[in-house]
């Protein structure tokens, strides 16, 4: 059974992941309204990933007979000045989530909760990928802020069907 402190913080992280889902959804809608279908699709996909991360955490708690308490989330930012601002916000969000994941891992280690520490390792790897991807996208968007066709072309070129990660934790309800 996971340490009580870890369970409490993992429940809070479920809310953080669901908040990230909502923020990415708002960003996707922003790009959809600008008729930037590739950027919109990218961020709709990011929203689903964040939801899945929350549900992986839910499944871990269920699997370990721990209490699941889905917290409320703050409303996302819905208004953006240009095409750069939402991507800049997304990168800041990924950096914040990385800090949260690292803190959760530290709690598991402090509590000598080795199963929870092991569970968090996949999320650490995932955050490295997310920050890298979002950093690259921000660089492209900043360089091409006045040329949305180049931005859309980049997203199309860089989008690839990712294979299912067999090492990923199971998603509740999937």
pLDDT at residue 161 greater than cutoff 70: no
Nearest to 152 by CA among 140, 160, 161, 162: 140
Find the largest Cα–Cα distance for the chain. 53
Interval 48-69 mean pLDDT: 97
C-alpha to C-alpha distances, 125 to 42, 55, 165, nearest whole angstrom: 20, 18, 12
Q: So what's the architecture of 4-158 in CATH? A: Up-down Bundle (1.20)
pLDDT value, residue 141: 98
pLDDT of residue 165: 81
Cα separation of 104 and 83, whole Å?
33
Calpha distance 44→49 (Å, rounded): 9
| Residues 62 and 13 sit within 8 Å (Cβ to Cβ) | no
Q: Which residues of 81-106 are buried (b: 16+ CB within 10 A; e: fewer)?
A: eebbbbbebbbebbeebbebbeebbe
Specify the higher pLDDT residue, 174 or 32. 32
Length of the chain: 174
pLDDT band at 167, cuts 50/70/90?
Answer: confident
pLDDT tops 90 at residue 122: yes
Domain spans of the chain, in order of start: 4-158
* pLDDT of 160: 73
pLDDT of residue 113 exceeding 70, the answer is: yes
pLDDT mean across residues, the chain: 95
- In the structure, what pLDDT confidence band is assigned to residue 110 with cuts at 50, 70 and 90? very high
């Amino acid at each position: 059974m996971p340490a009580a402190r870890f369970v409490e913080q993992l429940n809070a992280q479920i809310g953080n992941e669901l908040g990230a889902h909502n923020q990415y959804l708002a960003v996707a809608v922003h790009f959809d309204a600008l008729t930037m279908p590739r950027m919109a699709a990218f961020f709709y996909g990011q929203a689903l990933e964040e939801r899945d991360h929350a549900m992986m955490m839910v499944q871990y708690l269920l699997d370990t007979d721990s209490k699941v308490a889905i917290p409320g989330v703050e409303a996302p930012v819905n208004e953006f000045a240009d095409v750069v601002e939402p991507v800049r916000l997304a990168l800041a969000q990924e950096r914040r989530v990385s800090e949260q994941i690292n803190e959760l891992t530290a709690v598991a280690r402090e509590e000598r909760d080795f199963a929870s520490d092991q569970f968090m390792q996949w999320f650490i790897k995932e955050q490295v990928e997310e920050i890298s991807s979002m950093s690259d996208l921000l660089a492209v968007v900043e360089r091409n802020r006045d040329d949305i066709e180049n931005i859309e072309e980049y997203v199309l070129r860089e989008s690839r069907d990712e294979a299912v990660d067999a090492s990923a934790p199971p998603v509740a309800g999937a």
